[in-house]
Structure 1
Amino acid sequence: MAEIGASVVASTYAHSWIFDAFDPYDPFESTARAYTELFTVRDEPAKEEFLVRMIRGFGIDGIIFHNSRTCPNCTNSQYGMPSRLTEKTGVPHLIIDGDLNDLRCFSQEQTLTNLEAFMELLEQKQQNKRRAPRCKIETSANEPPSFAYPLNTA
């Protein structure tokens, strides 16, 4: 990612294997509890809510989804989630095809081409942001002007 000027600041994958709820003094109950809290077993609305919090909390400019061909439970690009997140947050997304086990499902050249195009899209979006007015002055006949700064919608 550094080759194309990008940084990955958040991931759901690593969170899928962290068992915060596990208690070694109560292994059976806490294992069950831990497994129900994993990202991969959550329903779509819970995943979406979590991702929106990550997007806004980290100030993410773009979302990359990995479409794992042989692991549909770890593939969050199904059921329209990427489009819904882009619609809710204004943050564009990219879906990369691949697999964790079968290299035949992955093309390095195609992935790099898609990433480069996605980075161009993000750069254009940043340039448009810089050209946008930073604030607007709101005035009223009886009050001095006040400055209203646009909220970050992402």
Structure 2
Amino acid sequence: MLLWKLATAALAITLLLVGCGRDDPEAALQAAVETLQNRIENKDTSQLLDVVHTEFSANRELDRDWVRRTAALMFLRHRSVSVIALNNRSWIDPTYPDKGYSEAQIALTGAEGWLPQRLGHYDVRLEWWLTDGEWQLARLNWE
């Protein structure tokens, strides 16, 4: 009888894990947003660029190289960098399922110790493109 209970429990756990493993584009998009935030906070320019699409554009005038230079400068200038997202939401374009969007109000801080020396507040809109099964940041606009 104990063997039957163990087999039933193992089957239930397996079914639960398989159900959780379904492809959920919105969950993958939200994971990409969190990955972007973590890579900024971890101050790793090369990993940050892995999330940025090769055709990236910011405010219609800045390119992927601008991301690399700006991130490197910010990472060198500050011992710690934080991204605090407020009122954020992400969604998949209903017409083009390979495009997703995120909007948020963010506070970007840089610090040498516990207290931030720099603080910027921005309203940002991000456009994500699904490329080879991965969401990559293609467009960034801020106010």
Which is higher, the Rg of structure 1 or of structure 2?
1
Superposition TM-score, scaled by structure 1 size: 0.29
More strand by share: 2
Superposition TM-score, scaled by structure 2 size: 0.31
Q: Which has the higher contact order (CA 8 A, sep 6+)?
A: 2
More helix by share: 1
